[in-house]
Amino acid sequence: MSAGTPIRRIWPAPSSGPLDEAELTHLYRRAGHPRLRVNFVTSPDGAVSLHGYSAGLSGEPDKRVFGLLRMLCDGLLVAAGTLRHEGYRAVRLSEPRRAWRREHGLTEYPTLVVVSRSLALDPAQAALADAPVRPVVLTTEAAAPPAGLTDVVDLVRLGGDAVDLAAGLAELRHRGLGQLLCEGGPHLFGALTAADLVDELCLTVSPLLAGAGPGRITAGDPSAPRPLGLRHVLAADDGVLMLRYARAGAPAPASAAAG
């Protein structure tokens, strides 16, 4: 791992020093069963963005873990609105991380999966047109694709007025995409929570107060609470906290296994 702001485990069993790439990989390791992991960054006062973009809350340690989570997943799930607003580029990884995937029997890159009810997508956007693996778009039965979209993506139609997310995840797992990482946005996170599909939340807390205005990391219709258990707390020397939660009752990793 390239030099950067040191990251330490502070709970459970504080680490004796900064965590290296192998130790971080172990802490966030792939599960032995299908899993939907959600990754977000927030401020302590609950903001999902700064100046309109999540990148305003993200620093070097968060970006390091962000890239690591992409390395570990089979499919990267994102809402069409987030893809457009955040200006997603093609999902690519560094050579060391591609090598790690090859060594573990994975394709070199995860598959981008876009959730889009209306198919208001630009087939020329780099995230789609330049993708190293053909993306999958989960959409509704009635949505009409713009010209050229089916040249660069696979369409999977699920549901009438809204995308059936449970059926979508089942289809992705049928395609071999068992380890899924969702990067938002808030409405997709809210819908996945309402459907009780979220297995894990990785949450970075940026050390600044964003003030009034930005929304929360989740949005949409109210839904029942979904209990989670805290699995680890990491802290970077610049004050960033990285929290990992998993479904209540799921086995926790051995506290001493990652240094």
Per-residue pLDDT, 80: 97
Q: What are phi and psi of 53, to 5 degrees?
A: -135, 145
**Domains parsed from the chain with CATH numbers:** 60-221+228-246 (3.40.430.10)
What would the pLDDT profile of 51-100 be if each residue is shown by its tens digit?
Answer: 888 888 889 999 999 999 999 999 999 999 999 999 999 999 999 999 99
Per-residue pLDDT, 250: 55
| Three-state secondary structure of 67-125 | HHHHHHCCEEEEEHHHHHHCCCCCCCCCHHHHHHHHHCCCCCCCEEEEECCCCCCCCCC
Per-residue pLDDT, 53: 86
What would the pLDDT profile of 96-126 be if each residue is shown by its tens digit?
Answer: 999 999 999 999 999 999 999 999 999 999 9
Per-residue pLDDT, 55: 81
Q: Whole-model pTM?
A: 0.93
| Stretches in the chain below the pLDDT threshold 50 | 1-2, 251, 253-259
Paired residues of 202 in beta bridges = 39, 244
